[in-house]
Chain A
Amino acid sequence: MQQLLNGIFLGSIYALFAIGFTLVFGVLDRLNLAHSAVFSTSAFVGIELVTRAGLSIWVTLPIIFVFGGVLGLVIERVAFRPLKDRHDAHFAGLISSIALGAMFLALLQAVFGPDTRRFPPDAFPRQRIEFAGSTVSVLQLVIVAVAFALMVGLTLMVSRSRLGRGMRAVAENPHAARVLGIDVDRITALTFALSTALGGVAGVLFALNVNSAQISMGTSIELKGLAVIIVGGLGSLPGAMLGGLIVGLAEVFAVAYVGSSWRDVIAFGLLFAILLLRPQGIFGARKVREI
């Protein structure tokens, strides 16, 4: 039971990270590998806000949401927009986002130094709840709640709001969208901003969950994030949520029943299997070939 809960909590954070990834891919057909740098940077900035400025975590989260969004605007403007019409836009975007991510991390070290940072011990109530023989901390429950609230909010926004309609139009056919008067550049920028805003919040929640933040914390979760979006379906928001839970649970049960050394093999094996058997993932749509 404890493991089940562990899996759910782990999975919810994976999902929150992945949902940003999949949003950009679904709408803009781009893989933003600077997402992990936003994740790390936001964690550090969040810790700084709580430690130095003495802000409560509830105030910090919305600030980080905006901060992450701003980073996303920068990433879009610098690393992706100039490559828009290039034939090799996919590869080039991959590399430019890697380069920009590396620059962010270097700046992170410049400001904060290379050491691990932690929240002050009183940043969050450390109460624990006993539940069906397992221990759950209030913090973990809050993390799951926030993660789900954000994901549900995003899904609703995409399906109901005007911005969401614009995003779906651009996802279908950017040229047609432009002809129809949709400001594709603005939608693109906002999509990036939204995705990294979520990634930033994910970073702070992740750091809260383990009470530590390192410069390299984004790298391993980025790989897991890729597994999540493939399993769930590239471009599908509910897919990212479900995929996150599946990967989280699979990992935890791998530790419990297979052996912790093989934990990551399970995650990547799952990824591989899905790619071979059902490449569109659980919720993804198969693209019809155009001739």
Chain B
Amino acid sequence: MRRLTGSIAGAAVLALALSACGSGDSTTTGGGGDTSALKGTGTGDTCKITTPVPIGAVFSLTGAAASYGESQKKGLELATEELKTMGGVTYDVKIEDDATDPQQGIAVFERFVTKDKKSLIIGPTLSNTAKQTDPIAQEGKTPVLAVSNTAAGITEIGDYIFRDSLTEGAVIPQTVDAAKAKFGLSKVVVMYSNDDAFTESGYQAFKAALDKSGVTITKTITFAKSDTNFRAQLTEAKGAAPEALIVSALIEAAVPLVTQARELGITVPIIGGNGFNSPKLMAGAGKSADGVVVGAAWNSASSGPENEAFLTAYRAKYSADPDQFAAQAYTGLKLVDAAVRAGCSGEREDIKTHLAELKDVPTALGKFTMTATRDADTPAVVQVVEGGKFAVLK
């Protein structure tokens, strides 16, 4: 038995080595070999490219970020399906799991860049992973379109790195202004999970915006991103008698936090960052979610035609409502498609050029323009939960 396990492991490693050295797999068309295979004729809707454009996607399908990765996968697969029916250009999208482990993310990126010669990589799910994986794509001159990275220092990695996800810094000032106008705030309590990059950047954005608006933060209370019992912290918050509770949290924490806040008798408005922007908020917190204000990078209630189509298609395919992760991943592939068609080429350089030039593209996220720093420019929206649904705050 001992020998057997060892031999199996040894043989397997050998097999892997041999398979890697040997002839390639199906996706070696494009990139290094035949340079004209990914260039097509025509433009826009009439563009025709004979070879499928190879796209790699890296999401966290297992591990701590698995629930976000799942959403992203669904959004991406929906977009892939829809693009298939359009004709002219097809995409060979390969989704890989990084298991919420940056080391695996790096390994996958490396392979996408050097061996599989993908024309573009979508992902990864977490910003902190991106800081470690994106440099590889940058060095390998492969464009990356981030669909959920909101931290600072992502697009700064290089000119091949793009994103369609609005940062908290872009959304929150609007949220704070709207909330202050509506509720007349002068003193608030801020709560956030300080062991997560996204929520911490959200906190920093909130703090800056609140300070700028002259709103006093009477207490700052932290928690851990995996916490689900907030009674101690909420009791402290309640004791400070704030006019509103400002929260930067991931959805897993947001739901119990909101529920428990109401249970403990906190009646003041709760204002959340982007992490709250998910149908899970209403599904999980029920009535407690009513009145919660959420600064969002995607307005699920928007009646724009692209969004309506997205919502309908998503519900039909998955029998559930999409969240922001799905919307951004879906939009991501659509934007890639727009860039590919603009130059009618699936080559890395051409995609890079045209992604940077995207302007006023209609998407489910609203009108999308790529800024000069390769960040997203879409209309942010301040939402409020009304009757179990997100509505725009007026």
Q: Is the CB of B235 within 8 A of A260?
A: no
CB of A54 within 8 Å of the partner chain: no
A135, A212, A216: which contacts B284 (Cβ < 8 A)? A212
Q: Which of A18-26, A162-170, A177-185, A251-259 forms contacts with chain B?
A: A251-259
Most buried by B among A2, A10, A113, A215: A2
A3 adjacent to B232 (CB under 8 Å)? yes
Which A residues are CB-close (under 8 A) to B61? 114
A249 to B114 CA separation, bound complex (whole angstroms): 54
Q: Please encode chain A, from 213 to 227, with 1 for each CB lying within 8 Å of some chain B CB and 0 for all others.
A: 011110110000000
CB neighbours (8 Å) of A217 from chain B are: 226, 228
> Whole-angstrom distance between the alpha carbons of A6 and B233 in the complex?
10
Are A212 and B252 interface neighbours, CB within 8 A?
Answer: yes
> B185 near A: Cβ within 8 Å?
no
Known: A114-B70, A210-B256. A255 touches B232 (CB 8 A): yes
Check A216–B64 contact: CB distance below 8 A: yes
Could you say which residues of chain B place their CB within 8 Å of the CB of A251? 232
Question: What is the distance, in angstroms, from B317's C-beta to the closest C-beta of chain A?
Answer: 16
Q: Which residues of the other chain, A, contact B284 by a CB distance below 8 angstroms?
A: 116, 118, 211-212
Contact A113 B70 (CB under 8 A): yes
Interface size class of B (residues with CB under 8 A): 20 to 34
Chain B residues 202-227 with CB under 8 Å of chain A are 221-224, 226-227
A2 near B235 with CB under 8 A, answer yes
Contacts of B69 in A (CB 8 A): 114
Report whether A216 and B226 are in contact in the complex, using a CB–CB cutoff of 8 Å: yes
Any A CB within 8 A of the CB of B92: no
Task: Determine if B19 is an interface residue (Cβ-Cβ < 8 Å).
Answer: no
Chain A residues in 8 Å Cβ range of B252: 116, 212, 214
The verdict on A159 contacting chain B, using a C-beta distance below 8 Å, is no
Q: Which residue of A lies closest to B69 (CB)?
A: A114
* Across-interface contacts of A261 in B (CB, < 8 A): 194, 222
- Complex interface residues of chain B between 40 and 64 (CB less than 8 A to chain A): 61-62, 64
- In the assembled complex, B303 has its CB within 8 A of some CB on chain A: no
A256 touches B265 (CB 8 A): no
**Given A114-B62, A216-B64, is A209 in contact with B229 using a C-beta cutoff of 8 Å?**
yes
Q: Tell me if B's interface is mostly helix, strand, loop or mixed.
A: helix
Q: Mark A7-45, 1 if CB is under 8 A from B, else 0.
A: 101100000000000000000000000000000000000
Q: What is the chain A residue whose CB lies nearest that of B62?
A: A109
Chain B nearest CB from A112 CB (Å) reads 11
Whether B231 pairs with A6 at a CB distance below 8 angstroms is yes
Answer yes or no: B308 CB below 8 A from chain A CBs: no
Q: A210-B228, A211-B284 are contacts. A3–B233 as well, Cβ < 8 Å?
A: no
A212 to B281, CA, bound (A): 12
- By a CB distance below 8 angstroms, the chain B residues around A214 are 226, 228, 252
**Complex contact A128–B263 (CB within 8 A):** yes
* A88 CB–B CB distance under 8 Å: no
In the complex, what residues of A have CB within 8 A of residue B94's CB? Answer: none
A48: interface (CB < 8 Å): no
B34 to chain A, nearest CB (A): 40
On B, residues with C-beta under 8 Å from A are: 61-62, 64, 66-67, 69-70, 194, 221-224, 226-229, 231-233, 235-236, 251-252, 255-256, 259-260, 263-265, 280, 283-284, 286
**Can you name 6 A-B pairs with beta carbons within 8 Å?**
A135-B264, A135-B265, A211-B255, A212-B284, A255-B236, A260-B222
Top 4 A-B residue pairs of the complex, sorted by shortest distance between their CB atoms:
A114-B66, A210-B228, A255-B232, A252-B232
